[in-house]
Structure 1
Amino acid sequence: TQYNSDLANDLGNLVSRVAKMVISNFDGKLPQPSRDIPGLQSLMDLAEKATESSYAHIKHFRIGNAIADTMNIVRASNKFFDDSAPWKMAKEGKKDQMGGVLYACCEAIRIVSILLFPVMPNKMREIRAVFALDDSTLTLVSAQRFFDLQPGTPVKLGESVFPRLQTEKKQDAAKARGGDESAVGLLDISEFARAQMQVAQVLQAERVEGADKLLKLQIDIGSEKRQIVAGVAESYAPEKITCMKIIVVTNLKPAVIRGVESNGMLLAAKKGKNLCLLVPDGDLPLGAKVS
């Protein structure tokens, strides 16, 4: 699965391998950095470019692109680690060079933990805890600097941040029951039923300042009025969407988007640049449940 490939295999494995070597070879303290390591400059250049592009994607709500750019840093760091082979350096008595490799990998992990923080803050805090980092260093300026970690910082590794999913075991169990759950994204009916979707009407719409794609909508779902933020401004002008009846997921946790609170999510279909709202086929009352 994508989870196993990107998170467990790539990021989780990098954190685990690097931290374990620091703990076993440097008494659990971050070693001294070194600039004189083959491949380090290439890793630093890639991290700098990926940080800039990832931040640009986040500003325009291209979250998938931001994650992809950040994962390029993870994959490059794994390659740098494998190519440098610090375990061989340990056997050859090149402890300073080994420490430089591990420090550089820790720096790459630190940068990744900043870039992925907006989309998975809890997991990134777990990673940052390995290197005793607090939230005060969660800044773009910090992400753009290499050699920002302090040598001597304690490194402590707890449980795996991204444990591998037992995909094969689940598939075997499904076959034993006479079914196949290997298709990506299949949901149990009870999981789908947790999403509460209702008919709503847009009472008022306005653009979100500084966000070309976002509209702030005041909606009526029958039992109450709410505010939601939707990325539909390129397809629907405020005057066009006002008074429309739409379908909204109403039991999502509140989110703050560009400083604006959103209490729900409208449903839309998109192909390429074409986006269409999902609307009720008939004059249903506000608050009517969609199932």
Structure 2
Amino acid sequence: MKTFYITTPIYYPSGKLHIGNSYTTVLCDSINRYKKLRGYDTYYLTGMDEHGQKVETVAKERSLTPQAHVDIIADDTKKLWKMLDIKYDDFIRTTEDRHEVVVEQIFEQLLKQDDIYLGEYEGHYCIHDESFFTETQLVDGKNCPDCGRPTELIKEESYFLRLPKYQDWLLKYIEDNPGFITPESRKNEVVSFIKGGLRDLSVSRTSFEWGVKVKSNPKHVIYVWIDALSNYITALGYRSKDTKLFNKYWGGDEVLHVVGKDILRFHAIYWPIMLKALDIPVNFKLYAHGWYLMKDGKMSKSKGKVVYPDDLIPRYGLDAMRYFLLKEIPYSGDGVFTPEDFVARVNYDLANDFGNLLNRTINMVNKYFNSSIKKNSATTEFDQLLVDKVKETIEAYSTSMDAMKVSNAISSLWSLISRTNKYIDETTPWVLAKDETKKDELENVLYNLVESLRHIGVMLKPILLDASKGLFTQLNIPTNLQTWDSLEFGSLKEVTVTDKPNPLFPRLDKKIEEEFIGTLLSGHPCKNCKDEEKEPENLITIEDFDKVEMVVGEILECKVHPDADRLLVSQVNTKDKVRQIVSGVSKYYSPEDMIGKKVVIVKNLKPVKLRGVLSEGMILAGKGRKALEVLELNNLKPGDKIS
């Protein structure tokens, strides 16, 4: 059995994930389901990239430790993937020991073999993209060329990865492997960038703490791209005690990384060079897709111009969301989300074209044959045209899916749906039903409709999860005829359809639903993060520090948060009052451990609700790679000031 390993990028936990992030995950899910349908042994990886200065900054703004912040985002992300019925095999988090230990080893190996060296870096840094840029790359002399935000000039000691050492090898590898980077336009982009001359890449930072430390020089944090990119092999057990998955899938038949075009360079240049330096086979293909845009440009959480799947799915269903996401982004371009387009896709493609075809067919089988029909030898002049279209669609669909052209595959499938609807108009079953001598011909027509729908249902399995099941259930198709291997016209011998068909996609009221979706776009900022475009203030004055009011607090009661296992809710006596404080320390302390501790409290933080529970301050703690310790002051009393 052939193997297939597919990965999403690991998502950055700065806030709630929108349909742009969801598109990548749904796209990978559909390709993975298709490969399973074709008989592959598949492995699907997704996860979170949880280190870096941006996480540290956002966590502070939320009055949380970085670990508590990423725990909450990871939990929310898993809930979203569950809502979208994403069938992943592993969810890797870069704060996990299985990942961090291997990243340490990778860095030390590259350092030992002189692929990494210690130097000093001066450059323009974008905290949002965690990237450095030269002056010539900046927009208007100061702004990041990727996201448009202002950069800051940073000078610090840094380790560097020797990219130029592998420049000629990488160009030749791309030339010798034409399918390595797709689409072709992205490959041309990468080749042009490499030919412009690669420079040594800064791969460590000393200006923040939240990340994997360099083992031989712990004042350095390993920079995000060496840390994050390694997830694709650490999740498979690379350098662990059990390397079965690594050997099976990384050394298997197909490995596919799917990423957005904004992180193309990191995956097409830095990652293969890292693998080459580590003497690991560069056994992957890279597909860099376009973005979901709004009418006025790229989605922006800070401006409220963003759509979240969990706002749409409860109202319109899972399949409407998946269909729109997969259909609207072409293979090598961007897609645009508008309320009008979303409602139109549901009403015309799903309700009219597909749903109505199924309902009409079932109703005619019920009306003319009391729910049951058999294959017979009667024919019409239009039968072969339909059979040929089914065969043509199977070939076009599989060719597109194999090439990650999912939108094209859907278009092929809808072309068959359109042809099947036309077959009804050509054969006019309602006319045949009036002539008793045409009964066999009528049964043949209805059989062909059911058989075409069966083929459509099989090919829909990776795309419309509920609707494909609904089709098979309402047509009462046996399980053995719901497989890819059963795609041969005429395999169905007889069928008894449901006598109570239910529309798979009820039509939407255009005006009401467009207005509803419009309200989601009129000011729907991320609930879990503040203004993304806010420039971090890394330096403070003594006057700033004096604003922070810290006192000793004694924990009187403590329990697990009712809606977040990783959070504890403590009742803390600070002399002036008993405060309720939510803290992300349950990985290291039980509620019983916390009771009685005299801890350091920041008491003048603005109260916030964390997962619905009010928090009126912050308990200070120290965090290392494998441990967290709450700060305790045993000889002071509740209310004593800290300065």
Question: What TM-score results when the alignment is normalised by the length of structure 2?
Answer: 0.27
The separation in 2 between residues aligned to 1:6 and 1:31, in whole angstroms, is 29
- Report the equivalent of 1:111: 455
- Report the equivalent of 2:475: 131
2:439 equivalent to 1:95: yes
Instruction: Give the alignment partner of residue 146 of structure 1, picking from 484, 489, 497.
Output: 489
- Residue type at the aligned position of 1:65: N
CA contact (8 A) 2:480 2:486 kept: no
- 1:160: how far off? 0.5
% of aligned pairs identical? Answer: 26
**Pairing of 1:202-241 with structure 2 (within 5 A):** none
Instruction: Give the alignment partner of residue 497 of structure 2, picking from 138, 152, 155.
Output: 155
The separation in 2 between residues aligned to 1:10 and 1:23, in whole angstroms, is 20
Cα distance, 1:194–1:87 mapped onto 2, change above 3 Å: farther
- Report the equivalent of 1:76: 419
CA contact (8 A) 1:22 1:31 kept: no
Gaps of at least 5 residues in structure 2 are 1-343, 533-583, 585-643
Cα distance, 1:195–1:17 mapped onto 2, change above 3 Å: farther
CA contact (8 A) 2:432 2:442 kept: yes
- 1:32: how far off? 3.2
Cα distance, 1:194–1:121 mapped onto 2, change above 3 Å: farther
2:437 equivalent to 1:122: no
CA contact (8 A) 2:481 2:492 kept: no
Q: Which has the higher contact order (CA 8 A, sep 6+)?
A: 1
- 1:95: how far off? 1.3
- Report the equivalent of 2:380: 37
The separation in 1 between residues aligned to 2:457 and 2:517, in whole angstroms, is 36
The separation in 1 between residues aligned to 2:496 and 2:407, in whole angstroms, is 33
- 1:180: how far off? 9.7
- 1:134: how far off? 4.2
CA contact (8 A) 2:376 2:444 kept: yes
- Report the equivalent of 2:410: 67
SS at match of 1:30: strand
The separation in 1 between residues aligned to 2:528 and 2:483, in whole angstroms, is 34
**Pairing of 1:186-201 with structure 2 (within 5 A):** 187=521, 189-190=523-524, 193=526
Q: After superposition, what is the alpha-carbon deviation per residue over 1:149-189, rounded to whole angstroms, capped at 9, x for unaligned?
A: 122x2100432012111214445xx4xxxx9949xxx7465
**Pairing of 1:267-278 with structure 2 (within 5 A):** none
- 1:139: how far off? 2.5
- Residue type at the aligned position of 2:497: V
Cα distance, 1:188–1:132 mapped onto 2, change above 3 Å: farther
- Residue type at the aligned position of 1:43: L
- Residue type at the aligned position of 1:14: L
The separation in 1 between residues aligned to 2:528 and 2:481, in whole angstroms, is 36
The separation in 2 between residues aligned to 1:141 and 1:195, in whole angstroms, is 46
Superposed structure 1 runs of 4+ greater than 6 Å apart: none
The separation in 2 between residues aligned to 1:89 and 1:187, in whole angstroms, is 51
SS at match of 1:91: coil
- Report the equivalent of 1:10: 353
CA contact (8 A) 2:396 2:409 kept: yes
Q: State how many pairs are aligned.
A: 187
- 1:126: how far off? 0.2
- Report the equivalent of 2:510: 167
The separation in 1 between residues aligned to 2:474 and 2:352, in whole angstroms, is 18
CA contact (8 A) 1:32 1:96 kept: no
Cα distance, 1:170–1:26 mapped onto 2, change above 3 Å: same
The separation in 2 between residues aligned to 1:111 and 1:45, in whole angstroms, is 13
Instruction: Give the alignment partner of residue 429 of structure 2, picking from 67, 86, 89.
Output: 86
- 1:138: how far off? 3.0
SS at match of 1:129: helix
- 1:195: how far off? 9.2
- Residue type at the aligned position of 1:120: L
Q: Which moved more, 1:47-56 or 1:128-137?
A: 128-137
Cα distance, 1:27–1:2 mapped onto 2, change above 3 Å: same
The separation in 1 between residues aligned to 2:423 and 2:527, in whole angstroms, is 44
SS at match of 1:161: coil
Q: After superposition, what is the alpha-carbon deviation per residue over 1:183-210, rounded to whole angstroms, capped at 9, x for unaligned?
A: xxx74655x74799xx9xxxxxxxxxxx
**Pairing of 1:247-262 with structure 2 (within 5 A):** none
Answer with 1 or 2: which has the greater Rg.
2
The separation in 2 between residues aligned to 1:162 and 1:33, in whole angstroms, is 32
- 1:137: how far off? 2.7
CA contact (8 A) 2:372 2:496 kept: yes
- Residue type at the aligned position of 2:431: K
- Report the equivalent of 2:598: none
The separation in 1 between residues aligned to 2:473 and 2:483, in whole angstroms, is 16
Q: After superposition, what is the alpha-carbon deviation per residue over 1:65-113, rounded to whole angstroms, capped at 9, x for unaligned?
A: 1111011111000001111100001112221111111100111100000
CA contact (8 A) 2:454 2:482 kept: no
The separation in 2 between residues aligned to 1:29 and 1:17, in whole angstroms, is 15
Instruction: Give the alignment partner of residue 400 of structure 2, picking from 54, 57, 72.
Output: 57
SS at match of 2:373: coil
Cα distance, 1:12–1:48 mapped onto 2, change above 3 Å: same
- Residue type at the aligned position of 1:29: S
The separation in 1 between residues aligned to 2:347 and 2:507, in whole angstroms, is 6
Question: What TM-score results when the alignment is normalised by the length of structure 1?
Answer: 0.58
Cα distance, 1:195–1:16 mapped onto 2, change above 3 Å: farther
